[in-house]
Structure 1
Amino acid sequence: MDWKSMLRTGVHKPGALTAGLSVFLTLVYVLNWVFPINEKILLDPGALRKLQLTRLSLYPLAHLSIFHLLLNLMSLFVPLSMFEASHGTVFTGITLNLLAIVTGVVYCLVGMLLYPNVYVGGASGWCFTLCGYFAVQEAGFRPHYELASLKMPTLYIPLVFLVLVTLLMPGSSFVGHLIGLGLGYLIGFRERWLQMATPPGWLIVKIETWLDRWISMIPSVVKYHRESSVDRTAGYTPLYQESELPLHNDNFPGQGRVLGP
């Protein structure tokens, strides 16, 4: 499965978790206009010391502006749907929660020393984690991408995005994004560690069996990826097939490739 086919209506339905999370993030943002939700879930560097578990796990749901929300939704939708399709809906949900907690803990440990009064929120940490993860997977097939005479190592492309986001949006959390990206690289290189930190597949299958009645009620416009239908050991399919990559130029003696989508 490639990312472009997911954007073609009717070819691949978005994952149930991906679609549901997009709706839920939007709902939380709207409800925050009426109820002070963000005040309760924004990540405070002192949350770890105060054992505020709500802040440590729910801060990705908080968004400070409509631009912040839309940017994260657009950045998250395709890579998360790809990850969900290859790893399963429940497994992906557990992974997101685990990533939020680990990122939050590391952010607090650093923040208590460097920025004790800086609160953060938003799903951009997940975006950078997925970006790092897929960069590692893609680099195994294509170590470099070329644009004109510029050759960019595939593994470094997320770092370029990180720098650009930091420069264009100076109010964003560089440390939070860096932690998220680092976790993405870690999962990409050591995905077995993620498997060890999550419930075994047989348990997820059992839970899905218990919840089968409710799972069957999920609208058909999205796809629920059951644990029994995914194979997390299957090989990765690169974003671009080799036949899609060449960009010929009579004035350029080599072969060019598009950078990114």
Structure 2
Amino acid sequence: MSTSSYAPPLATLLSCSLCVVIHVSVLVFDLSSFHYTLSPRLIIYLFPPGDLFRLLTSPYFHGSIMHLGMNMMSTAYLSTVLEKKFGTLPTLHLILALTLLVSSLHTFISFLAYCNPLYSTQKFMLEHSLGYSGVIFTFAILETSTSRVQSRSIYGLFEVPTQLYPWVLLILIQVLMPNISFLGHLSGILVGTLIVNGVLDKSIFPSPDFFRYIEEETRLVPTRVKNHELYVKVPDNFRGISKENEDATNSLFALIVKASSFALKFVRNIVEAVLVITGLGGGGSSPSAPRSTEMTARNAALAAERRALMSDENT
């Protein structure tokens, strides 16, 4: 039996293996994960130099075997799907970029919440979070944005539209496990949404031709690695990770327009996710159509009655 028939692709395997090795090291050598967590307060207020390393270390440490197992199962599926679409080299670059981006956005939002003049809170600044969940939620956004499946099952309980799947999970997981880092998961979703809408992809993600050049024209990727059955070469039809692909532009006007569009989509997705969970949404516009028709007919009847009365008065 071929190794590739049961093992994930190379980039996915490396990221999962790193998380497992780190957790085993914590258990064997009795290390304290507290020194590697994402702590916005320690990152910001000790700068310089600050604990900037926490931006990179926090995703790869986990609080328990169950925490590790759940994250790695999700990573193995989502990262494998993306790696087969993008290739191993772009996926490795994506993982490294997301590790830093999600942690940085988490820290930035925590600082904004603390400096908010209307309602300042230290809650997020004082949190210590860890785990790969933020990156996983970004993976989920990237995967669902290109999926042809119309709906997804939530733990076999109910179906939701594919595009809303990460948002529904965000809210549902927080309701079931309120002690987890909501901001960490939300940061992953926000980063993914910004990427697929063309706001971040050009600034953090080189063109597919760049990765093809590294594979074919340089010695940065050894021949043994490129020929390995777990290595996925950049597909010929791969044009980029955003919805706009190579047509995306980084002009200031375009970024403002995209940011505004993203803000509207963010609010809409949150509202729709809440409606789906509470059972008030997900049925489309059909339930409200009869009522709208009924109201229109009633208004027309009332208008006709008023015209008849006015006609009688005039005569």
The normalised TM-score by structure 1 is 0.72
Q: 1:93-104 residue pairs with structure 2 within 5 A? A: 93-104=92-103
Q: Which moved more, 1:122-131 or 1:97-106?
A: 97-106
Is the Cα contact below 8 Å between 2:102 and 2:135 reproduced in 1? no
TM-aligned CA deviation for residue 137 of structure 1:
2.4
CA RMSD of the aligned region, Å? 3.3
**SS of residue paired to 2:160:** strand
Is the Cα contact below 8 Å between 1:48 and 1:56 reproduced in 2? no
User: In structure 2, do the counterparts of structure 1 residues 30 and 218 end up closer, same or farther at CA, with 3 Å as the change threshold?
Assistant: farther
TM-aligned CA deviation for residue 184 of structure 1:
1.9
Counterpart pick for 1:36 among 31, 37, 43? 31
Asked if 1:216 is matched to 2:224, the reply is: yes
- Unaligned regions of 5+ residues in structure 1, if any? 1-7, 237-261
TM-aligned CA deviation for residue 186 of structure 1:
2.4
Deviations along 1:197-254, one digit per CA (max 9) or x if unpaired, are 22344544454432343x615895x521234766235999xxxxxxxxxxxxxxxxxx
The amino acid across from 1:124 in the alignment is S
Is the Cα contact below 8 Å between 1:48 and 1:105 reproduced in 2? no
In the other structure, the counterpart of 1:159 is: 167
Is the Cα contact below 8 Å between 2:225 and 2:231 reproduced in 1? no
**SS of residue paired to 1:157:** helix
Counterpart pick for 1:122 among 131, 134, 156? 131
In the other structure, the counterpart of 1:198 is: 205
TM-aligned CA deviation for residue 22 of structure 1:
1.2
- Mapped partners of 2:204, 2:241: distance in 1: 19
User: In structure 2, do the counterparts of structure 1 residues 229 and 132 end up closer, same or farther at CA, with 3 Å as the change threshold?
Assistant: same
In the other structure, the counterpart of 1:24 is: 18
Of all paired residues, the percent bearing the same amino acid is 24
Asked if 1:92 is matched to 2:91, the reply is: yes
User: In structure 2, do the counterparts of structure 1 residues 233 and 45 end up closer, same or farther at CA, with 3 Å as the change threshold?
Assistant: closer
Is the Cα contact below 8 Å between 2:102 and 2:188 reproduced in 1? yes
Larger gyration radius, structure 1 or structure 2: 2
Is the Cα contact below 8 Å between 1:85 and 1:230 reproduced in 2? no
Asked if 1:68 is matched to 2:75, the reply is: no
Is the Cα contact below 8 Å between 1:63 and 1:122 reproduced in 2? yes
In the other structure, the counterpart of 1:169 is: 177
Q: Which moved more, 1:74-83 or 1:11-20?
A: 11-20
- Mapped partners of 1:108, 1:235: distance in 2: 24
In the other structure, the counterpart of 2:312 is: none
The amino acid across from 1:91 in the alignment is P
**SS of residue paired to 1:152:** strand
TM-aligned CA deviation for residue 86 of structure 1:
1.3
More helix by share: 2
The normalised TM-score by structure 2 is 0.61
- Mapped partners of 1:97, 1:198: distance in 2: 11
Q: What is the number of equivalent residue pairs in this alignment?
A: 223
Asked if 1:226 is matched to 2:226, the reply is: no
Which structure's relative contact order is higher, taking Cα pairs within 8 Å and 6+ residues apart? 1
User: In structure 2, do the counterparts of structure 1 residues 192 and 87 end up closer, same or farther at CA, with 3 Å as the change threshold?
Assistant: farther
User: In structure 2, do the counterparts of structure 1 residues 22 and 218 end up closer, same or farther at CA, with 3 Å as the change threshold?
Assistant: farther
The amino acid across from 1:59 in the alignment is S
User: In structure 2, do the counterparts of structure 1 residues 133 and 227 end up closer, same or farther at CA, with 3 Å as the change threshold?
Assistant: closer
